[in-house]
A and B are shown apart, each in its own frame.
Chain A
Amino acid sequence: MEKLLVCIQCPQGCKLMVKTEGEEVLVAGNKCPRGASYARQELLNPCRTLTTTVRTEFPDFPLLPVRTAGEIPLGSLFAAMGEINRLLVRNRLRPGDVVLERVSGTDVPLIATADMTLN
């Protein structure tokens, strides 16, 4: 299998060539090691960090921005959104605080990215 990709790890956007030879995955065009692991991952199981918001019970801070602490499979993003949109935050959280232990059947937690204690 052979695939042309644009690396999305940073704004440089390297053009990557990735192909499989037997068990081995070969990557060309990457300017850094992150590009190589991205290309491998993209060929075998594309994953993304999900960033979205969670409803809170505080009128001065109605939505808390959140992200998955790591990447989750691209195909599970909509299931994760369904799950996350049912949550309600009842405490004033700070960046890094866990909102949900495991997102959508993965072992990746959902964490706050903004400081709700700030006023």
Chain B
Amino acid sequence: MSPAKWDVVVIGAGPGGLAAAIAADKAGASVCLVEREARPGGILKQCIHDGFGLVRFGRKLTGPEYAFLDIEEVKGRGIKLFTETFLLDLDRSEEGFVLTLQNSEEAVFRLEAKALVAATGCRERTARQVFIHGQRPAGVYTAGTVQRLINISGYLPGKNCVILGSGDIGLIMARRLTLEGAKVLGVYEIKPEPSGLTRNIVQCLEDYNIPLHLSTTVTEVHGTERLEGVTVCRVDENMRPLPGSEEYVPCDTLVLSVGLIPENDILHPLGVEIDPRTGGPVVDQLLATSEAGLFSCGNALHVNDLVDYVSESGEIAGASAARHALGDYRPPRHVPILAKGEILYAVPQRLDVSLGGQGILYFRAARTLTDAALVISAGGRVLGEKKYKSLRPPEMERIVLDLSLVPAGEENIVLELRG
């Protein structure tokens, strides 16, 4: 049997993928969604706390409520959704791409797509990746796993918990564990300032009198069958442990909230160019990757601070994929963006200046800055400027650039941030 043909296939039905599918459908393309889990919504299914949607919907929603709005629209538009369907392989075909998939209904089957949107999200950094070695007792979890156990499956993973890392998921889980009856002994952050949003420090830690220990990390885990305790240790300004400051904290659970990594393994066989700073593909303002017809969005592109921006990038990627599939393709003229000064990273990494119109740029500051200034220029000509009272690495910044301002023939566009 020859495989079904689609204009656009979207991989992943989280917030990025849902938005991409809706946008592709609006643009007139035939589109389907492929999701490995039983239900759409991605990570939002387990993010039962509120605070989502202020930018996109102007109101404060919980994760499941935010996902519900997009899922209703996907259903209303009759967009085909394959659930519990796993993508095994991805390859080039004459007209675009061929996907090899597996599910319980059709066993192994194939789909063809003229354009693809990779909305595969991100995964959590694990204990091994933050150099917690030695014994492997039960009771060491990533924050997202704890969130899933408590909110989806209904298991409390422990009674006395230590949280390493002050990322938002860790802070949210400190509150959640406390409300469900566990004791959170403390949150330990190796950096001198918290990684999560300030509002989460207030409403997740201060509300419950959970101590936050900055410039402190976990250096050892104790226990063989089950975690019995951890050694915490203060660090110097180079994040090296200070001898003599070790302290033993008895606990049965260690929760790791130590960062997220975009998930793009499935794209490796295609040889897609990856930006080592973001961990996601190198893209232009259409979110087109280095492979013609392949688009990237959401946390697979770079780890976003707000889901609202994940949806926004999904909309862009979906619309771009539809245009590509429907034959509106002109060879791009790419100009790289050079990030200078105090910029941690900027997305997109290059602009297609043949298009005109507007381009949305996101960036993060490399460190906490006050009274910072961002200047966008090309060939010495200033294209845009913005001043910031304060910038923090956990908070993503968004700017819109008028591409008609870019002078013809420029070799690059400079994005410079000064503190």
Cβ of A105 under 8 Å from chain B: no
Cβ of A28 under 8 Å from chain B: no
Contacts of B358 in A (CB 8 A): none
A3 to chain B, nearest CB (A): 12
Interface residues of B in 224-278 (CB under 8 A from A): none
Cβ of B371 under 8 Å from chain A: no
Are A11 and B49 closer than 8 Å at their CB atoms? no
Contacts of A108 in B (CB 8 A): none
Contacts of A81 in B (CB 8 A): 179-180
Q: How many A-B residue pairs have CB under 8 A?
A: 83
Are B153 and A51 closer than 8 Å at their CB atoms? no
Are B64 and A6 closer than 8 Å at their CB atoms? no
Interface residues of A in 44-85 (CB under 8 A from B): 48-53, 55, 60, 62-63, 65, 67, 74, 77-78, 81
Cβ of A100 under 8 Å from chain B: no
B288 to chain A, nearest CB (A): 29
Contact with B along A77-98 (1 / 0, CB 8 A): 1100100000000000001000
Are A55 and B154 closer than 8 Å at their CB atoms? yes
B396 to chain A, nearest CB (A): 10
Cβ of B354 under 8 Å from chain A: no
B149 to chain A, nearest CB (A): 11
B28 to chain A, nearest CB (A): 27
- The CA of A84 and the CA of B175, in the complex, are separated in Å by 16
Partner of A11, one of B63, B180, B199: B199
Are B62 and A74 closer than 8 Å at their CB atoms? no
Interface residues of B in 37-74 (CB under 8 A from A): 38-40, 45, 48-51, 54, 60, 62-65, 68, 71
Contacts of B305 in A (CB 8 A): 11
Cβ of A10 under 8 Å from chain B: yes
> Nearest chain-A residue to B394 (Cβ)?
A11
Are B54 and A118 closer than 8 Å at their CB atoms? no
- The CA of A115 and the CA of B62, in the complex, are separated in Å by 13
Q: A7-B199, A113-B48, A119-B38 are in contact. Are A95 and B54 (CB under 8 A)?
A: no
Interface range on chain B: under 10, 10 to 19, 20 to 34, or 35 or more? 20 to 34
Interface range on chain A: under 10, 10 to 19, 20 to 34, or 35 or more? 20 to 34
Cβ of B152 under 8 Å from chain A: yes
Are B202 and A8 closer than 8 Å at their CB atoms? yes
Are A11 and B62 closer than 8 Å at their CB atoms? no
Are B199 and A13 closer than 8 Å at their CB atoms? yes
Are B39 and A118 closer than 8 Å at their CB atoms? yes
Cβ of A114 under 8 Å from chain B: yes
Contacts of B201 in A (CB 8 A): 6
B71 to chain A, nearest CB (A): 7
Contacts of A5 in B (CB 8 A): 202
Contacts of A113 in B (CB 8 A): 48, 62, 64-65, 68
Contacts of A49 in B (CB 8 A): 50, 60
* From A11, A63, A74, A77, residue with most partner B Cβ within 10 Å: A11
- The CA of A51 and the CA of B38, in the complex, are separated in Å by 23
Q: A114-B68, A115-B71 are in contact. Are A8 and B48 (CB under 8 A)?
A: no
Partner of A67, one of B62, B179, B180, B198: B62
Contact with A along B127-170 (1 / 0, CB 8 A): 00000000000000000000000111110000000000000000
- The CA of A30 and the CA of B376, in the complex, are separated in Å by 29
Contacts of B182 in A (CB 8 A): none
Partner of A48, one of B39, B48, B207, B395: B207
Contacts of B395 in A (CB 8 A): 11
Partner of A51, one of B45, B50, B68, B71: B50
Cβ of B339 under 8 Å from chain A: no
Given A8-B202, A13-B199, A115-B71: 10 more A-B contacts, CB < 8 Å: A11-B54, A11-B197, A51-B49, A52-B179, A52-B180, A53-B48, A74-B207, A113-B48, A118-B40, A118-B71
Please report B residues at the A interface, Cβ cutoff 8 Å.
38-40, 45, 48-51, 54, 60, 62-65, 68, 71, 150-154, 179-180, 197-199, 201-203, 207, 305-306, 395
| A-B residue pairs, 7 tightest by C-beta | A13-B198, A114-B64, A65-B48, A8-B199, A113-B62, A113-B64, A8-B203
Please report A residues at the B interface, Cβ cutoff 8 Å.
5-11, 13, 48-53, 55, 60, 62-63, 65, 67, 74, 77-78, 81, 95, 113-115, 118-119
* A–B complex contacts, Cβ < 8 Å, 5 sampled: A7-B199, A9-B60, A11-B54, A65-B151, A95-B68
